[in-house]
Structure formats: C-alpha cells, structure tokens
Amino acid sequence: MAITGRDQKALDEAVAELGPNARGYRADVTVAEDRERLFAALTKDFGKLDIVFANAGISGRTPTGSTDEAIFENVIHNNLSGAFFTVNSAAPLLNDNGSIILNGSVHNCLGQAGVTAVRLS
C-alpha cells in the first residue's frame, strides 16, 4: 500500500498507523515535478497499481460577490487540477481492471455560507 501527502509528519503518522506494509511518499500533486517523481517511485517500488484513490482537496472562503480571485484559483488548482493530473499520471500504471476513485466532499451535500467554490472531485 502506498499513500502520499504534503505534510511529512502527518504522512509518517499515517504510515505508522497503517502498518509495516504501508509506504509513504511526500508529494504535492499540484506540482508537476512532484507527480513525476512520485509516479517514478511508485513504478520502481510497485510496478503496476490496482487502485488510485484521488483525495486532494482544500476549502477556502469564496463568498459570492467578494471572492478574492487568487483564493478561488488556488481552490480550483488543488481540487480540480490536482485530482485530474494525479489520475492522468497514474493511468498508465493501472493494471487491467484497475480502479480510479475520486473522493468528493461534504460540501457537495451541505450548504455552507461563504463557500461557493467547493471541492469538485
């Protein structure tokens, strides 16, 4: 099992909790070089993948009528581009009948004042 994350401490804690068969890879999936390095390491360590679970996402204050464009673009870059390019990078490594899972957010179901840009994956 392989997991990724941007925060090394949180990644190390998750690997420890998952047990001796888990491997952690620090990567920011919004950065092309990180994705390239990540999938090169996964290819070396695992060869092929059975499942890709794309769970990249952030939230941000995006109230209608007063949203800062940089905040909105950051949300979209993380939640849409990060998830898409993770799957795009992983696709060549998938075994036949492999699965891609795009995790969504509670924002899809719950309204929250001031949050119009939600996790789209």
Mean predicted confidence (pLDDT) in 32-40: 97
Q: What is the pLDDT of residues 20-31, one digit of tens each?
A: 999 999 999 999
Q: How far apart are CA 56 and CA 99, in angstroms?
A: 17
Query: What percent of the chain has pLDDT above 70?
Result: 88
Q: What is the pLDDT of residues 54-79, one digit of tens each?
A: 987 788 888 888 889 999 899 889 88
Q: How far apart are CA 48 and CA 11, in angstroms?
A: 22
In the chain the beta strands, taken as DSSP E runs, fall at 2-5, 23-26, 49-54, 94-102
- 2-108, which class in CATH? alpha beta
pLDDT of residue 118: 54
**Predicted confidence band of residue 120 (pLDDT cuts 50, 70, 90):** very low
Mean predicted confidence (pLDDT) in 9-38: 96
